[in-house]
Amino acid sequence: MSRRITNIAAVAFSILLGSGCQQSASLKPQRAASDRASILLFSDVRGALKPCGCSPDLQRGGVDRVAHYVADVRRSAPNALLLHAGNLLVDEDGVLPGAEAQITRRVQALSEALQIMGTGAVTLGAYDVIQGLDWLEKRLPSLGIPVVLTNAEGPRWAQVVRRTLIVNVDGVKVGVMGLVPERGEGITNPLEAARRASLELRAAGVDTIIVLSSLGLRKAKRLLRKGLDIDIFHAAGQDMKALVSDEVESFGKSYLLQSFIQGGQVGRIDLTVGEGSLAYVETTAVAPKRSSYFRYGLYPIGWDLPQHPEVASVMASYDSELKAINLNASSTLPPLADGQAHYVGVETCLECHDETLSYWNHDKHKTAWDTLVRDNKTYDLECVGCHATGYGKPGGSILSDMKNLQTVQCESCHGPGSLHAEDAEAESISRSVPESVCVTCHNPKHSTRFEYELYKSRVLVPGHGKPLE
């Protein structure tokens, strides 16, 4: 892997200062190298190398395509600095029980990907911090990427993160901070920490201060309204449902930017350092002659973009190792209680309910497992539970013994049916399927557009909840 951030300019810069050949009393010394820098921002990967793709809203982003975009930008701006804000290693579910080995391997794959991408710095989010220092201490040092977290205090944090970072991008000194919400061991007030750090960074002569924040939009705005001497504030730590704006909002001297989670968008800052404090200039507007300014664009990372081959192969190795990793991590089903029904599979149901056959043959649930086969995800603990029947339930399926319960079958909605298949009584099975059953899978994280009545109407067709014509 090659680090693309050069320090040659920094050397030239200090020589100039040393020889005292400044032309004016300006605080901004003359530069030997350029006064322009490009900075790329993406956010909230949340450990996912690629979003699951369950809903159309989730069919974008992923490190393979972000990497493609970054490589493309670096064709004309070879030293463009890539920064990540928001939750990095895990999402709101943290580490699922039994998935510890998978997550460890996933973090390793993410670290490889970030390195291939030449990521300049990352910060953490609240979900990362909640994992606790014991967990982070095992993972952050091996990331191979500087982790910047400004509002974390104490010797243990100091071992794994740095409070600030100064990166020289084509002669422009960029000061980087990272902020998380004030929660968790050693995490301090973000406003106070940011004020202190910005004084230090200014004293160190940086041209621009960028904050990678994981505070979410509302908290970010509240902080900025209190006044901060920073230039650019990347508000990450947002939810899936957040409506991300490509507008640059100004708060005093600071500018607030956003981007969609999981690399769904990459923001590009083109910075020109001149006199005075930084101004935002729209793409179509004329550039100022002497003053400092930046332009900003937010680029969608659609799945029509090609995948970066090296990153794609990191992801493919991860997927192909999951079988061995997860079959080794032996887990068992909870035991079946006396008189409790177990899952029998759709073929048994169809023996008596052939009226539902035409429904079943056109139901998307029938191909839910094929979806995972196509993506090589049939051994991914973060996928199988919702694309199979009775997963992890008494008398149901588990990776080491899927039985005939692949895909989302009748019993996912009607409940386990062994007793009903024996007695063939209406009373022994549940006809109605309440919303609470659907949302075990159709949750906001995976089914962003779920509406019970609408979705139910799609599964109630002649032969299944409607009379056969």
Of residues 293 and 360, the one with the C-beta less far from ligand HEC: 360
Q: Given the rule CB under 6 A, which of 29-37, 158-166, 272-280, 458-466 is the region that contacts ligand HEC?
A: 458-466
Residue 167 is a binding residue for ligand HEC (CB under 6 A):
no
Supply the minimum distance, in Å, between the C-beta of residue 344 and ligand HEC: 5
- Residue labelled with tokens 């759709």: 346
Q: How far is CA 60 from the centre of its chain?
A: 11
Q: Is 459 among the residues that bind ligand HEC (CB under 6 A)?
A: yes
Residues 174-203 that bind ligand HEC (CB under 6 A): none
Separation of alpha carbons 357 and 349, rounded Å: 10
Q: Which pair of structure tokens corresponds to residue 297?
A: 């664009």
Cα angle 464-360-343, degrees, rounded to a multiple of 5:
95
- The Cα diameter of the chain in Å comes to 96
Vertex 119: Cα angle to 118 and 122 (nearest 5): 165
Residue 218 as a binder of ligand HEC (CB under 6 A): the answer is no
What's the number of CA atoms in the CB half-sphere (13 Å) around residue 224? 25
Rounded to 10°, the helix 63-76/309-328 angle is 160
Applying CB under 6 A, among 383, 398, 399, 405 the residue interacting with ligand HEC is: 383
Contact flag: residue 341 with ligand HEC (CB under 6 A): no
Q: CA–CA distance from 145 to each of 90, 260, 285 (Å)?
A: 17, 22, 36
Q: Binding ligand HEC by CB under 6 A: which of 379, 382, 395, 405?
A: 382
C-alpha distances in Å from residue 86, one per residue of 90, 300, 323, 387: 10, 18, 30, 28
CA 149 to each of CA 75, 110, 162, 169, 272: distance values in angstroms, whole numbers, following the listed order: 30, 19, 6, 20, 26
- Residues 421-440 vs ligand HEC: string with x where CB under 6 A? x--x-x--x-xxx---xx-x
Stretch of 77-85, 139-147, 199-207, 410-418 lying at the interface with ligand HEC (CB under 6 A): 410-418
Dist. CA 359–CA 460, nearest whole Å: 8
Select from 156-164, 225-233, 253-261, 378-386 the region that touches ligand HEC (CB under 6 A).
378-386
Cα angle, residue 322 at apex, residues 316 and 328 outer, rounded to 5°: 155
Contact flag: residue 455 with ligand HEC (CB under 6 A): yes
Tell me which of 84, 163, 173, 420 binds ligand HEC, using CB under 6 A. 420
Sheet architecture: strand order including 164-169: 164-169, 172-179, 208-213, 232-235, 254-257, 249-251
CB of 368 to ligand HEC, least distance (A): 4
Q: Which is nearer to ligand HEC, 27 or 454 (CB)?
A: 454
Q: Which of 105, 200, 456, 461 binds ligand HEC (CB under 6 A)?
A: 456
Minimum separation from the CB atom of position 143 to ligand HEC (A): 22
Nearer to ligand HEC by Cβ, of 67 and 408: the residue is 408
Q: Which of 88, 136, 161, 413 binds ligand HEC (CB under 6 A)?
A: 413
Instruction: Candidates 84-92, 242-250, 288-296, 402-410: pick the segment binding ligand HEC (CB under 6 A).
Output: 402-410
Q: How far is the CB of 205 from ligand HEC (least distance, A)?
A: 45
| 351 binding ligand HEC? (CB under 6 A) | yes
64 binds ligand HEC (CB under 6 A): no
Instruction: Provide the binding-site residues for ligand HEC, judged by CB under 6 A.
Output: 52-55, 344, 346, 348-349, 351-353, 356, 360, 364-365, 367-368, 371, 375, 377, 380, 382-383, 385-387, 408-414, 417, 420-421, 424, 426, 429, 431-433, 437-438, 440-443, 446-447, 449-450, 455-456, 458-460, 464-465
